Amino acid sequence: MMAPAIALQSVAKRYAGGRVGLADVDLEVPAGRFFGLLGPNGAGKTTLVGLLTTLVRADRGSIRVCGFDVATQAVAAKACMGVVPQEINFNSFEPVGEIVEAQAAYYGLSPRRARERTGQVLEQVGLADRRGQSAWGLSGGMKRRLMIARALVHRPHVLLLDEPTAGVDLEGRHTTWELLRALNADGVTILLTTHYLEEAEALCDSLAILDQGEIVARGETGELLHGLNVQTLVLELSAPLDACPELEGLAIRRVDRWTLEIDLPQGMEVNALFERLGACGVQVAGLRNKRNRLESLFLQRIAERASASRGAGT
Partner 1 sequence: MRLAAYGFAYRGMVIKQVRRFLRAWVQNLLPSVVTTVLFLVIFGHLVGRELGTMRGVDYADFILPGLIILAVATNAYSNVTLAFYGARLQRHIEELLVAPLPAWLIVAGFATGGVIRGLLAGALVALVAIPFTNLQLHHLAATLGIALVSATLFALAGLLNGLYARSFDHTSVVATFVLTPLIYLGGLFYPVERMPEPWQSLAALNPLYYMVEGFRYGLLGTGSFAWATTFWVLVGTTLVVGGVAWALVARGVRIRS
Give the one residue of 114, 197, 200, 210 binding partner 1; rule: CB under 8 A.
Answer: 114
Does the protein bind partner 1 through residue 23 (CB under 8 A)? no
CB of 82 to partner 1, least distance (A): 9
Does the protein bind partner 1 through residue 75 (CB under 8 A)? yes
Q: In terms of CB distance, is 107 or 274 closer to partner 1? A: 107
Q: In terms of CB distance, is 76 or 252 closer to partner 1? A: 76
CB of 103 to partner 1, least distance (A): 6
Write each residue from 48 to 67 as x if it is in contact with partner 1 (CB under 8 A), else as -, in one continuous string.
--x--xxxxx----------
CB of 124 to partner 1, least distance (A): 19
Residue 41's nearest CA partner among 218, 304, 302, 312 is 302
Residue 22's CB is within 10 A of a number of other CB atoms, namely 28
Provide, for the chain, the percentages of residues in helix, strand and coil under a 3-state DSSP scheme, each rounded to the nearest 5.
Answer: 40, 30, 35
Q: Show Cβ contacts of residue 48 under 8 Å, excluding neighbours closer than 6 positions.
A: 8, 22, 25, 27, 37, 193, 210
Does the protein bind partner 1 through residue 43 (CB under 8 A)? no
Q: In terms of CB distance, is 109 or 191 closer to partner 1? A: 109
Beta strands in the chain (DSSP E): 6-14, 20-29, 34-38, 60-65, 68-69, 81-84, 158-162, 189-193, 206-211, 214-220, 230-237, 251-256, 259-265, 284-289
Vertex 203 angle, CA 34 and 234, to 5°? 145
CB of 26 to partner 1, least distance (A): 21
Say how far residue 52 (Cα) sits from the centre of its chain: 16
Distance CA 138, CA 126 (A): 12
Task: With beta carbons less than 8 A apart as the criterion, state whether 225 and 55 touch.
Answer: no
CB of 185 to partner 1, least distance (A): 25
Does the protein bind partner 1 through residue 108 (CB under 8 A)? yes
Distance CA 117, CA 111 (A): 10
**Stretch in the footprint of partner 1 (CB under 8 A) among 79-87, 171-179, 211-219, 251-259:** 79-87
Does the protein bind partner 1 through residue 167 (CB under 8 A)? no
Does the protein bind partner 1 through residue 189 (CB under 8 A)? no
Does the protein bind partner 1 through residue 177 (CB under 8 A)? no
Does the protein bind partner 1 through residue 85 (CB under 8 A)? yes
For residue 287, the cross-strand partners are 235
CB of 111 to partner 1, least distance (A): 7
Binding site for partner 1 (CB under 8 A): 15, 50, 53-57, 74-76, 78-79, 81, 83, 85, 87-94, 98, 101-111, 114, 150
